[in-house]
Each structure stands twice: as C-alpha cells, then as structure tokens.
Chains A and B, each alone.
Chain A
Amino acid sequence: MISKLKEYWYRQDKVAYIFLAPSIVILFMFAFIPLVCSVVISVMNLDIFFSDVRFAGLANFLKAFGDERFWNALKNTVLFAVVEVSLQVVIGLLIANALSGTALFSRMARSVFFVPVVCSMAAIGIVWSLLLDGTIGMIPYFIKEWFGITGLSFFRDSGTAMGTVIAMTVWKNFGYTMSILVVGIQAIPTDYFEAAKIDGASRVQQFFWITIPQLLPSLGFCLITNLIGSLQVFDQVYVTTGGGPQRKTETLVYYIYKIGFTNPFDLGYASAISVLLLIVILAISLPVYFKMFKAEE
C-alpha cells in the first residue's frame, strides 16, 4: 500500500492530477457552478424565500428592458466608466511621463501616488464623506475662503454626486495606471529619445511621436482593465452615496445588489441584469484575454 503510494510521487502524470485537484475542485464548486447557475436563475422566477419558484423564460430580461431604474443604472454606469477611465488614463499618463526616471524625487512621488491604491474603499469613503461634508467639511470651507463659493454639498447634491464619486475614484486609482505606464515608458529604448533630441525634437514632440506610439500596448491594457473594473463599480457608491441622491449614482452592480440582497430579494431579476452585464463585459474583455493568452504562448 505504502510502496504503491510512493510510486505515485514518481509519476509525472499522476502527480499532476494531485497538484491540480484542490484548485480544480474549488474552481468547479465556486466559479463554474455559479456561472452556469447565474444563467439558469436568470430565466427563473426566484426570490430569496423560494415563495413562487418557476420557469419564467425571458420575462426577467423583458422586465429589465422596460425598467426605468435599470436604464438609469446602465446610464450611470456607462457615464462613470467613460469619464473615470478617461481621466485616470490621461492623468496617469501625464504623471508617468513626468516621473518615469530614477531620480529620488520621482521614486518618492511614485510611492506617494500609490498609497491610495493600497487603502480600502471603505476607509477612503469615510475620509471623503467627512472632508466634503457640507457643514463641517474642510474642503467646502477652503472653497468658501478662497473662491467665495458656498452651499456645496458634493455627495448629497444630485448635480454633483456622480462627479464627486468619479473624482474620489480617480484619486484612489490613478496610481495604479501610473505604475503600469511607468513600466511601459521605462521599457522604451533610450536611443529613440536621443536620436530625436539630435534631430531637434522638443520634449512635447518626443512625447507625442515616441512615448505615446511606443506605449500603445500598455495604454490599451490600462484602458481595458480600467473599463472592465469600472463597469463593476460598487464599493465607492455603497460607502458614500448609497446610490442617491435621486438614484443619480445608482450603478448596475449596486442595483443588482439592491434587488437581490435587499427588498424585494428578487434573485431571478438580479441574475438577469448580471447576465446582461456579463455580455457587455465579455464583449470588451474577450479580445484582450485572447491577446494576453497569445502573448503567453
């Protein structure tokens, strides 16, 4: 018995299955099954109390298309994603370009810009909510003292809430984009810049004609990963506005959470919206994954 077991340790193919077993079991149980079930549940009438479980066909999807709150959440999600990602990539690019060197100042500044990436959104939400509070907040106070503008209440005003959520997210995440782009810029051969300098190209010209074209793969990567991430935006909304005011910051994942895990606990409908979100995300991410896997081969 023991000698047989020992023999196993010397067989590549046998050991491979042993090595894979834990991961495969876990992924099958907690990723593959939920994935299949999310499609199944989306065509079911199912709530958390199992009160009236039956096949519903495409009713949940049709319900979404006729649901004003779904369209509002979709609109907010797209608005958030487009504005947040553009800002993050532009700011990240400019700062990465300025700080790609190895000087002490550059390295220290990069360390500082990465600090918010490490912090949890729950903590960041507390900080920004209080800093921007209309009555005791320090930022509204500064704005009043320096620019004479009063009555700002950021997260609590339907006109500024989404903008504030976006600003907070850019503040937290631009260090991530910057870090990727710094690696990309450092990989550009320095001869390119030296040759351009000899030809009399200015810093700005070098930026547009060397840095950006050479950086396109990294920029594409940032753009897509940020886009996928921001289409799933939830944390920042949950900890600051709760989707308000007047549902101006209610995003798709937040809406899914609200329908599925709070009253009315409608799991079928929440799953249908999840499936719609999955389709959008896959349409954006599949080409990137294929490229990434090809690069691996």
Chain B
Amino acid sequence: MKKIKTGNLPGVVLKYGILILCIVLVLFPIVWLFAGSVKLEKEILQYPPTLFGTKLSWKNFIRIFGTIPMGVYLKNTVIFAGISTLAALLFDSMSGYAFARLRFKGKNLIFIGVLMTMMVPFQVMMIPLFLESHFLGLLNTYAGLILPKMTTAFGIFMMRSYFAALPKELEEAARVDGVSEIGIFFKIMLPLVKPGLMTLGIFHLMNNWNDLLYPLMMTSETRMRTLSAGLALFVGEHATLYYGPQLAGAVVSILPLLVLYIFFQKYFVSSVVSSGIKG
C-alpha cells in the first residue's frame, strides 16, 4: 500500500475528488434511467424533476410491451445475436486454426484475401450488401440478418493468434497416435483456446446485440426488427411514445448485456481491448 505523505495531501484529495466526480457523472444517467423506468409518467414530467419516484410502478414496462412489439424485438435480437455469435465462434476458430497450424497450398494468398475484407469498414459496403440481400430475397429474414455475420475476418485473425501460441508438440503426438485432423481440432486444440473463445464470443455478442445501422438496413418490417433498430424508431428524433415506456425500453435493451458484464467483466474488457473496435 502506498503511504500518503502529508505534504501531498491536497493533491491526493483533489485526485480522488475528481475520480469520484467522474464516477458520479458516469453512473448518474444509468441510475436515472433505471429509476425513471419504474416511475409514473406524471412524475417523469413533473417540475422540478426528481431522481426517484414516490412509488414503484411497472406500468412503463407493461405499456412498452403493449404498444410496440418489444417481445418480438427481444426474440429477434436473441435469435440474431445468439446464432450469429455461435456460428462465428465455430467458423472463425476453424479458419483461424487452419491458418495457424495446418499446411496447405495457397495459404498466404487466402489469408491476404481475408485481411483485405477486414480493412474495409461495413459502412462502405452497406449499399451493395443491401442490394445483394434484396436480390437473394434475404431482406426481412433471419437468414439475411445472420448469414453475413456468421464469420468475421477479425475473428479469424484473432483465433489464428490464439492457436499459433500453442506448443507444436500437441498435435504431433496426437497424429502419431492416429487421431484424425478433425479430432485433433475439436478434442485437443479447441478446449485449449477457451479464453480466446470467451473473448471473441463476448465481442460478437456485444456488437450484434447493440448494432443499429446493420439491422436497420436489413429489415424494414416491424416484425423483423431488433431491439436497437426497433427502439430507435420510437424515440429521440422519432419519438411517438410517452417518456416512461421509452426508458423501460432502454432498460430492456441494455439489461441482458449488463448482467453478463457483471459475471464476465474480464472478457468484455479484453474483447474490446484486443479488437480496437468500439461499439
């Protein structure tokens, strides 16, 4: 533990004062959101405003599920983010493994091709992707939402470095023992990169769950919208709802990830740190 010198005391007080102020600034809007979501509409509108209401009310949640298809949004988001994430975990690690540990012809050429797609931001290719999905009949379908997200160049790149870090003797011993290449991958190698899988899984889940522009573009029908894209239509610039239900909607959309964050904080941080892609 650091000893605090008395001469340094004002500096220390200032430092912690500023840090605590920052914590308050970061937490206040979130606490306000949760408190507001269980307030009565008239208490949200009252002046001067208060942080907490006088009584706990679930009306806003009942209203948001009643007036807009929140249940459908929630279901769509779970399907879209869940399946995309699981598929991407499988395909990214299969490819990452091939690039890291298997010998085959054309490896470098294929890898450069993969890296090329990593450098191009999604926003640049969204119009052709939209047209393509239109021609393939994928707009407003789960397949259309999920297919393009089933693998990512970044995930392949990341899993490749996890596999490359494993000792070489592992699969050689297994090969001598007559284990098939598929067996080596699923039974020996994949369990060894579990931290990598967790990190990448959280990365995909968080990005897909929170994505706005992509589902906005791939879906136009209400019944196919995700939480982010669905909510955005009813709030802010496009507000048609009471304030309370908007807050309840925001709570519903962030709560699942916040709960996961509490349990898997380490992986959330490492997924964001290693990717350099912010949500």
Contact = CB atoms under 8 A, between A and B. Distances in A.
Interface stretch (A61-69, A146-154, A205-213, A255-263): A255-263
A214 interface: no
A160 B153 CA distance: 39
A45 interface: no
A219 to B, nearest CB: 13
Contacts of A228: 121
Interface string B218-244: 000000000111011001111100010
Contacts, number: 310
B91 interface: yes
B272 A242 contact: no
Interface residues of A, number: 102
Interface string A28-42: 011111111110010
Contact of B113 (A32, A235, A240, A286): A32
Interface string B258-272: 100100010011001
Given A95-B22, A138-B32, A277 B236 contact: no
Max chain B C-beta neighbours (<10 A), residue from A35, A122, A138, A221:
A122
B246 A126 contact: yes
Interface residue tally on B, bucketed by range: 35 or more
Contacts of A270: 127
B209 interface: yes
A121 B128 contact: no
B249 to A, nearest CB: 7
B258 A115 contact: yes
A171 interface: yes
Contact of A118 (B180, B237, B261): B261
B104 A23 contact: no
A13 B102 contact: yes
Chain B interface mostly? helix
Nearest to A123: B250
B212 A235 contact: yes
B227 A122 contact: yes
Contacts of B123: 232, 234, 253, 256, 274, 277
Interface in B143-189: 147-148, 150-151, 153, 156-157, 161, 180-183, 185
A127 B33 contact: yes
A226 B105 contact: no
B19 A95 contact: yes
A4 to B, nearest CB: 14
B43 to A, nearest CB: 11
A131 interface: yes
B119 A289 contact: yes
B124 A277 contact: yes
Nearest to B217: A261
Max chain B C-beta neighbours (<10 A), residue from A26, A135, A145, A286:
A26
22 contacts: A15-B98, A15-B102, A24-B95, A26-B150, A34-B128, A35-B125, A38-B124, A111-B265, A119-B30, A120-B228, A122-B250, A171-B25, A180-B273, A224-B276, A234-B212, A234-B213, A235-B213, A257-B213, A270-B127, A278-B121, A289-B119, A296-B157
Given A23-B114, A253-B123, 12 more contacts: A15-B98, A37-B132, A95-B19, A113-B23, A114-B268, A127-B32, A128-B29, A129-B239, A171-B26, A238-B213, A240-B236, A241-B236
Interface of B: 1, 11, 15-16, 19, 22-23, 25-27, 29-30, 32-33, 36, 44-45, 47-49, 51, 91-92, 94-95, 97-98, 102-105, 107, 110, 113-132, 147-148, 150-151, 153, 156-157, 161, 180-183, 185, 206, 209-210, 212-213, 216-217, 227-229, 231-232, 235-239, 243, 246-247, 249-251, 253-254, 257-258, 261, 265, 268-269, 272-273, 276-279
